[in-house]
Structure 1
Amino acid sequence: MDQEKITLSGTQETMLATLYARAVDSRSPDTVLGDTAPRRRWSASRTTSAKRG
């Protein structure tokens, strides 16, 4: 499977980093935020990216 290169900058890059950190936190047994939505969004974004390639 070929991977598509996506370039982010500014706000988009910051939002991706925040989403990733929240997704990682949601997988932790000692989650700080207790929020499962970021994990679902992160999985969905990776699936969407894979379909584009």
Structure 2
Amino acid sequence: MTNTWTDLTASAPFPHPAGGFAYGVINNKLYIAGGRDAANMIINLTWIYDPATNAYA
């Protein structure tokens, strides 16, 4: 770690607009799970963002 701030431009936008999701970091990857969409419907998906590749899996 260099203890500096770097602005990132995502290679792709967040895969699905969501609110109320859970998230956590494991092995330097951000896991984003669940939430609700704009119509307040439950989302049962999980996304993984890898800052090393600047992409979602």
What TM-score, normalized to structure 1?
0.30
Q: Select the structure that is richer in strand.
A: 2
Q: Select the structure that is richer in helix.
A: 1
What TM-score, normalized to structure 2?
0.29
The one of the two structures with greater contact order (alpha-carbon pairs below 8 A, sep at least 6) is 1
